[in-house]
Amino acid sequence: MRSSGGLRLPRAAYPLGLSVCLLLYVAYIKWHWASGAQALLSITEVASGGRGGQRTRIPPAMAPLSHQAFYGIMFDAGSTGTRVHIFHFSQRPGETPTLKRETFKALEPGLSAYADDIEKSTLGIQELLDVAKQDIPFNFWKATPLVLKATAGLRLLPGEKAQKLLQKVKEVFKASPFLVRDDCVSIMNGTDEGVSAWITVNFLTGRLENPGSRNVGMLDLGGGSTQISFLPRSEDTLQAAPPGHLTALQMFNRTYRLYAHSYLGLGLMSARLAILGGVEGQPAPDGKELVSPCLPPSFRGEWEHAEIAYRIAGQDTGSLHELCANRVSSVLHNQVHRTEEVKEVEFYAFSYYYDLAADVGLIDMKKGGSLLVGDFELAAQYVCRTAEVRPLSSPFACMDLTYISLLLQELGFPRSKVLQLTRKIHNIETSWALGATFHYIESLGRQKSLAS
C-alpha cells in the first residue's frame, strides 16, 4: 500500500477483522505479481484483434489496470544472413498494441549456405536464441512465440535440401523454453514478405492507427528477390493487376486489399548473376569466365554467390554506363509489371536501396533521407564514368546502381518521384519481421477465439 503523505489514522482505529483482510490482500497482490507468466495474459489473448475486434475475455480478477507487456521473436532467414528480431510490446485492453522496443542481431552467412552441412546451421541459430533469452525476462519465455521465416535464399534451394534445414531449425526451437508451435518454421511466400513489410512501415508511421489516413507503399530489395506493396485507390490498378498481384489482409480488425508482389530472382545478388550471364544455382560451364559490360574494363576477379564461385571480368568496348544499361534492360525485359498509380503513392524503400544510396552519398549512412528516383541514374552515370578510368571500392557499383535505376523505372516510377529511404523508424528496423510478427500473433488469437 502506497502512502499519500497525508493524515495517518492511529493503528487502533483499524478493527481486527479489517486488519486481517488487509494483510491477506497485500499477500495476494505480492503473490499475483510474483507469478509473472502465470498472471500474464497470454500472447494470443493480447493480440487477437484491434479496436472493436474479438478477443478472449479476461476474468475480472486478472484484468490489468495498466499497460500489459508481451514479447515476440522473429527469425529472418535471408539469402545473405540470419537475423533475430525480439519485439517488446505493450497494450491496454481493447487497444492496438504499441511497440516499446526491438532487439536485433544478424549473423552471416544465410541459412541456405548450410544446405550441404545442416549440422553447422544450429550454431548460429543457438547464438541468436541466447540473445533472446538474455533480452526477455524468464517468466515471459513460455508465453513468447518463437518463429523463423525463410525468404529467397531457401526458396531458391531444391525442396529437399530446404526442408532438411528447416527441420533441423525446428528441432533446435523445440528444445528452447519459448512458445513453439508446429508452424514455427517455414519458407515465407514472397508476396507475404512484401505484405509484412507493408504492415511494418504503416504501423511505424502511424497509418494503421488512423483508418482515414493515406497509407504508404513499400519497396524492398533483398539478395534473391524484390517486393513492392501498396494499397490501391484506383479501380484501374485493381482491374489491370496481373494474377497473383492482389491479396487480402486482415489486420487490427480491418481488411485491406493490397497490390503486392515479389519477384524471385530479381534481388540484387541474383540480378548480378543474371547480368553476368550466369544461371542461378549452377557454376559456369567448365569454369568459364563470365564477362560483363557492367564491370570496369580492367577488372578481373572472383565472386561468390549461393556458395558457388565465379570467375568474372569486364570488357573494354565503349561507354560503360550505356552498355551496362542495355544489358540490364535485356535482363529486366517483361519481368516486372508497371503500375501508373505508384506515381501518386508515398513510398518507403529499404534494404539494398538504402545501402547503395548511402554508399554513394545520396543519403546519410546512419539517418537515411529522401531522394529522387532519377538520383540513382545520375549516380550510376557518374560511377560508371569513374570506373572507366580508375578502380572503385566495389567493382559492382556501376552495375548495381544501373540495375536499381532501371528496376524502379520498369515498375512505373518516374525519375521525378521522391522516395523515403530508411533503415529504422522510431529506432525500429523497417523490415518485414515486425509485420510478420503481428500477423502471426493475430492469427493465433483468431484460432483461439474460434476454438473457444
Q: Which residues are the active-site residues?
A: 193
Cβ neighbours for 451, distance < 8 A, ≥ 6 positions apart: none
Strand order in the sheet with 254-264: 246-251, 254-264, 225-230, 217-221, 347-351, 418-421, 369-372
**Cα–Cα nearest to 185, from 428, 430, 440, 432:** 440
The position carrying cell 523508424 is: 425
**Cα–Cα nearest to 69, from 36, 35, 94, 34:** 36
* Residue 239 assigned ligand-binding role: no
* Residue 223 assigned ligand-binding role: yes
CA angle 90, 219, 162 (to 5 degrees): 80
* Residue 212 assigned ligand-binding role: no
* Residue 81 assigned ligand-binding role: no
- CA distance linking residue 34 with residue 17, whole number of Å: 26
- CA distance linking residue 413 with residue 338, whole number of Å: 8
Question: In a 3-state reduction of DSSP, which class is residue 84?
Answer: strand
CB 135 within 8 A of CB 60: no
- Bond before 242 cis per omega within 30 degrees: no
Alpha carbon distance, N-terminus to C-terminus of the chain = 37
**Cα–Cα nearest to 146, from 102, 107, 192, 178:** 178
* Residue 167 assigned ligand-binding role: no
Widest CA span of the chain, in angstroms?
101
**Cα–Cα nearest to 356, from 264, 229, 268, 261:** 268
Helices and strands, number each (H, E), in the chain = 13, 17
Annotation: binding site? 223-227
Annotation: binding site for ATP? 223-227
